[in-house]
Amino acid sequence: MNHRHRKILHALFAHPVSANITMRDIEAVFRELGAELGHTHAGKLVVEIDGHKVSFHSAHHTVPKDEVQQIRRFLEARDIVPERNYPL
């Protein structure tokens, strides 16, 4: 994972919750993590990691804080911890 993707991953886990992350950047991080991505006809992003699927609203600009928290919880449930797995 390159440095830019690591910074985005760390921003997803930052406190307070960042409101300056784009969905395009998040999709790039998911791809680096080996996730399979898809889009529904309703404009949602479907992410599958290790057989676990979840969908997120695919924002065109920055991702809302509550969506960032959902992404964070999904990654934590997959045992992805930036400080341990992907240090800066």
Q: Summarize the confidence of residues 59-87 as an average pLDDT.
A: 88
Q: How confident is the model at residue 43 (pLDDT cuts 50, 70, 90)?
A: confident
pLDDT at 61 over 90: no
Residue 58 has pLDDT above 80, yes or no: no
Q: What is the mean pLDDT of residues 77-88?
A: 88
Residue 68 CB partners (closer than 8 Å, separation 6+): 12, 17, 18, 19, 21
Helix (H), strand (E) counts: the chain: 4, 3
Given a cut of 90, whether residue 44 has pLDDT beyond it is no
Q: Name the CATH code of domain 3-85 (choices 3.30.160, 3.40.1000, 3.90.550, 3.40.50).
A: 3.30.160
Output the pLDDT for position 56: 87
Q: What angle do CA 81, 85, 86 make, to 5 degrees?
A: 100
Token pair 């409101």: residue: 19
Domain ranges for the chain:
3-85
List the structure tokens of 16.
């307070």
